[in-house]
Structure 1
Amino acid sequence: MKEQVQEENKEQLNGKPTDANSKIDAIKELIFGENIQAYNSEFEALKADILAKKEELQNLIGIVESELLQNIDTLSTDINIRITDLENSINDKLGDLDDRKADRKLLSQLFIKLGEKIRE
């Protein structure tokens, strides 16, 4: 036991970690150090790439959204113009129908007068 205490004291004096977790971390670093660093660098590169793609997608979404809003406005204007044209066309046709009805009345009166003249 004294030897363990002396070894721990030596380790503390040399600045080496003394708790079990630190020792395990040191062993992991020795065994897997290069792999972990490679994985970390790959993960950082992937994270940066994902963030760049996310920003690019957000920009594209903004562009598409503005184009859609512009197309909706254009379509709305076009529909309003067509509706106005249809209303005018319907009003014109209704006016023509009224004229035709008036012409029928006029024709019937003319036929009555013609019939009266024939009778005389």
Structure 2
Amino acid sequence: MKKNQTEEPIGNTSEAASKIDAIKQLIFGENIQAYDSEFEAVKNDILTKKQELEDLIDEVRKELLQNIDNLSTDINIRITNLENSFNDKAESLDEKKLDRKLLGELLMNLGEKISK
């Protein structure tokens, strides 16, 4: 008899749970379905917005990388132009400026030639 008593509450528990579920369904059935529907709509909206944000982030990331690449290329071109300009100016100064020692020697040679 003890076996039946221990088994009955288990059977009674599932019966009671199904009765409670049935009562809940009768009382709140339409409301629960409406809430479930609203929650599902909100969940889908959140997932859609999340995907849109991820797409926007990817697009902005690609734009930033492209802009960084363009800026890097532009800076490299400007640096190359600056280096070339600097080298041209340095060569020009070398051609225009005469070494003082060399100038002195040339003047001494010129003076010696004049005195002869």
For 1:31 and 1:57, the matched residues in 2 are separated by 40
For 1:41 and 1:67, the matched residues in 2 are separated by 39
Over the aligned positions, Cα root-mean-square deviation in angstroms equals 2.5
Task: Report the Cα offset of residue 111 of structure 1.
Answer: 3.9
2:86 is the alignment partner of 1:98: no
2:68 is the alignment partner of 1:68: no
Residue 3 (structure 1) aligns with: none
For residues 85 and 105 of structure 1, do their structure 2 counterparts lie closer, same or farther at Cα, with a shift above 3 Å needed? farther
2:30 is the alignment partner of 1:34: yes
Residue in structure 2 matching 1:57, options 35, 53, 66 = 53
Give the number of aligned pairs: 103
Unpaired segments ≥5 residues, structure 2? 1-13
Q: TM (normalized to structure 2)?
A: 0.70
Counterpart amino acid of residue 70 in structure 2: T
Task: Report the Cα offset of residue 86 of structure 1.
Answer: 1.5
2:60 is the alignment partner of 1:81: no
Percent identity, aligned pairs only, is 70
For 1:112 and 1:100, the matched residues in 2 are separated by 21
For 2:74 and 2:110, the matched residues in 1 are separated by 53
2:16 is the alignment partner of 1:20: yes
Larger RCO: Structure 1 or Structure 2 (Cα < 8 Å, ≥ 6 residues apart)?
1
Unpaired segments ≥5 residues, structure 1? 1-17
